[in-house]
Structure 1
Amino acid sequence: MDEQDTAAILPGDLSADSDGGEAGACAAGRSPCPVSVEPVLFLSMFSVALQTPLSTQYLWDRISQDLGYNGSKSSDCGNSSAPPDPLQKEVQTLTAHWNLYINLGGFLVGIMVVPFLGSWSDVAGRRLVLILSNLGMALQVGVYLVVMYLQLPVVYFLVGRLLSGLSGEFNAVLAGCFAYVADVSDKRSRTFRVAVLEACLGVSGMFASIIGGQWRRAQGYINPFWLVLATNLASALYAYLFVRESVHPDPSAKLLTTRHHKAVWKLYSTGGGSGGGRFHRCKLWLYTLCFFLVVTVHQGSRELYVLYELSSPLCWGSALIGYGSAAQHLAYLSSLLGLKVMQRCLEDSWVALVGLASNILGLVVFSVADTTPLMFTGYGLCFLFMAATPVLRSKLSKLVDPSEQGALFASVACVEGLCYLVGSSLFNSLYPVSLHFMKGFPFLFAAVVLFIPAGIIGALQCFDQRRDPSGS
């Protein structure tokens, strides 16, 4: 794509806060309809979903090997009446702690980098962020492959994660993609466009989970990780070749400047340029708090599923773990379909509450699941659990001006990085502590936490309806 073509796509061409929107730009013949970022997010999520459970299983196997534990062949692994194996507890604890250390390292670096990249993309362009972040994720996988080939200590996984964090890793990809969709969609269609991106996360994750479980059982860890590397490189190449800019890039835009953090601070201290006073600013903070709690629960509990399923009484193998992860990611697609149907008769806030109720029911079942059918029942009850996050992203986006979308999604990406940090720290620390009194307690705790955002969203919706009964 030459510079003239790129420069011809002004923010107004793809930004659709007027009713004309994206369709109007395409119909006017100024440029062909732009290739959107859904394939970039699909490929990036595929790599993450393929890599994450395999990394946890690799840590489990390496730690088990170092400690001399062979739980996969233990005859009493599925026997709930047998006394707990102290060696299995040690393997679970060490695996959870190494997950915590690796995630802490990556997210502490990422949470400092993502605000720069997100706000910088508002002036320098979204494509650069998408390319750099995917290349950083590819570098992480390269380090992981070296660790596996040379049988290096698992501490080198932390090195790979730190290198990926310097590029913003997956959080920066999310920030760039959601900011892009905010650029090219109008307010009426934004919730569904955001939900489509969320569905891309789920569908790609579902395929990756099925492939990863079966492939790992057949050929081990190394070949699947080569696919992860190729997928990250393909995502970066796609963004470079096909994704058109949704903002007018400024070649002189600087990355390392305090301007980016100041833009985020101004957004949350004044409520942005869209006005609305103190109540408007409070809504921005409250919806951000809801987003923080929901995503923290999603990410924190998700990290425990593999550990929960590997150990007794479930004792799942890699194939069942893959199917379970696929069922979880399939809920992204069912949430998209449910959101589209429910939007015909419900306000977005009530759609979010239905999604939270689905999530709470599933977590309660997980907390007591001691058989495979019961575990899959929990996955089934969570079929609408992702309906809340696109609603919250959309509501935050609608609270700010079009010129502030970059700063907003930089802050959302920062909050999302904090969610990973808090969720990983909290749940990976809570799981070993709760093993001797209730193994599923972290899931029950997560269900209770979700009542907080449900109450806030419902209260804000009731207040908005009182202020504006017409809903305009």
Structure 2
Amino acid sequence: MAAFEGSIGLGTTFGYAVSGLLREAVGYAYVFLILMILHISAFVYILFFTKEIIQNDASANEIESNRNWLKSICGRFFDVISLFTAPRNPHKFRLLIIVLAAFSIELLAYSGVSDILYSYFRLRLGWGDKEYGWFDGLGSGFNTLAVLALYPYLHHSRNISNATLTIFGTVSKMIFLLILVFVWADWLAYLATIPSAFNRFISTGMRSLSTFYVTDSEQGKLFSLIALIEGVTGIIASLIFNGLYPLTLNFFSGTMIIAVLVAFFIPLVLMIYVKRTENKLEESNSSSHISENVIENS
């Protein structure tokens, strides 16, 4: 999962870094043309060259059905929704709902901030495309390195759980937002990219956590659901923040960022609950295992 998030980060790092320079060099029209060509190229590559991994227990009819382009959108939607109706351990189901709720709130809040951040920096620091592109590129580069190298090391080598790393990422993002609220100089804005280095710990940790609460055959449905949540929250956040942000400029331009900072306490509390619940379940399983060994030995 860290490699998946890291690959996204590598693309965004390069994209942010060159976006301002490219816009100044060729203008908006050609930038959008280049983006369209890149999207078409990615679509063609996935369509014709990417091979689908097929499980051994999948029948030929199931494989053909999955490749059927005429399958309705409603059918796909209900396949994803079946995650909530399938028989499941009640503890895992509750934790899955909590993680997805925390993920949704985090995405909604931060997507909104991302939508207004360029305007915010333009107002507070007089930034243009180039300065903002360097800021985003630097932050994306830091969090890409962190999720590719530091996250796997802490999780696998130091045995720090996904829930703990998610909590750490959430706190770091809150510090990042707190700096943005009172940013008054360029150097302070660039300094904020240091705590933002752990931003991807949140999505990586929550994606990884959610996979433990579903079966292997449901992984595709889970990631489709997460993609659906990302799309819906992005649209809602854009409508809310772009509508409210101009109304706050008369008294304080950082009002929306403060609102997001406060909202982040919700996923933080939810993830602390997940962490504590997992610890209790692990202690319970360990106690049961010890009791079984004692009975066997006696």
TM-score range, shorter chain: 0.7 to 0.9
| Among candidates 163, 168, 173, match of residue 349 of structure 1 | 163
Which amino acid in 1 is paired with 2:207? R
Query: CA–CA distance in 1 between the matches of 2:106 and 2:50?
Result: 30
TM-score (normalised: structure 2): 0.84
Q: Using the TM superposition, give the Cα deviation of residue 402 of structure 1 relative to its aligned residue in structure 2, in angstroms.
A: 2.1
Aligned equivalent of 1:314: 125
| Among candidates 314, 325, 329, match of residue 140 of structure 2 | 329
Q: Per the alignment, do residues 471 and 210 of structure 1 end up closer, same or farther by CA in structure 2, a change over 3 Å counting? A: farther
Structure 1 gaps, min length 5? 1-193
Which amino acid in 1 is paired with 2:75? R
| Among candidates 73, 89, 94, match of residue 276 of structure 1 | 89
Q: Using the TM superposition, give the Cα deviation of residue 415 of structure 1 relative to its aligned residue in structure 2, in angstroms.
A: 1.6
Q: Per the alignment, do residues 441 and 338 of structure 1 end up closer, same or farther by CA in structure 2, a change over 3 Å counting? A: farther
Query: CA–CA distance in 2 between the matches of 1:315 and 1:395?
Result: 41
Output one character per residue of 1:414-451: Cα deviation in whole Å (capped at 9) or x when no partner: 22222112221222223112111211121122121111
Query: CA–CA distance in 2 between the matches of 1:318 and 1:266?
Result: 44
Aligned length: 274
Aligned equivalent of 1:265: 81
Which amino acid in 2 is paired with 1:317? G
| Among candidates 197, 208, 212, match of residue 394 of structure 1 | 208
| Among candidates 245, 256, 262, match of residue 72 of structure 2 | 256
Query: CA–CA distance in 2 between the matches of 1:261 and 1:209?
Result: 33
Q: Per the alignment, do residues 468 and 264 of structure 1 end up closer, same or farther by CA in structure 2, a change over 3 Å counting? A: same
Query: CA–CA distance in 1 between the matches of 2:25 and 2:266?
Result: 44
| Among candidates 102, 109, 116, match of residue 304 of structure 1 | 116
Query: CA–CA distance in 2 between the matches of 1:238 and 1:471?
Result: 46
The SS at the match of 2:188 is: helix
The answer on whether the counterparts of 2:17 and 2:138 sit within 8 Å (CA) in structure 1 is no
1:447 maps onto 2:256 in alignment:
no
Query: CA–CA distance in 1 between the matches of 2:47 and 2:82?
Result: 32
Relative contact order higher in (CA < 8 Å, ≥ 6 apart):
2
Which amino acid in 2 is paired with 1:338? L
Q: Using the TM superposition, give the Cα deviation of residue 258 of structure 1 relative to its aligned residue in structure 2, in angstroms.
A: 4.1
Aligned equivalent of 1:195: 2
Aligned equivalent of 1:243: 50
| Among candidates 152, 171, 196, match of residue 340 of structure 1 | 152
Query: CA–CA distance in 2 between the matches of 1:232 and 1:445?
Result: 34
Which amino acid in 2 is paired with 1:396? S
Query: CA–CA distance in 1 between the matches of 2:129 and 2:285?
Result: 49
Q: Using the TM superposition, give the Cα deviation of residue 330 of structure 1 relative to its aligned residue in structure 2, in angstroms.
A: 1.7
Q: Per the alignment, do residues 468 and 306 of structure 1 end up closer, same or farther by CA in structure 2, a change over 3 Å counting? A: same
Query: CA–CA distance in 1 between the matches of 2:130 and 2:76?
Result: 45
Aligned equivalent of 2:225: 411
CA-based RMSD of the aligned residues comes to: 2.1
Which amino acid in 1 is paired with 2:81? W
Aligned equivalent of 2:40: 233
TM-score (normalised: structure 1): 0.55
Output one character per residue of 1:230-279: Cα deviation in whole Å (capped at 9) or x when no partner: 211221232234311113631574421643333333321x3x34x312x3
The SS at the match of 2:64 is: coil
The SS at the match of 2:192 is: helix
Output one character per residue of 1:276-324: Cα deviation in whole Å (capped at 9) or x when no partner: 12x322112111101101111221111111111222x311122112101
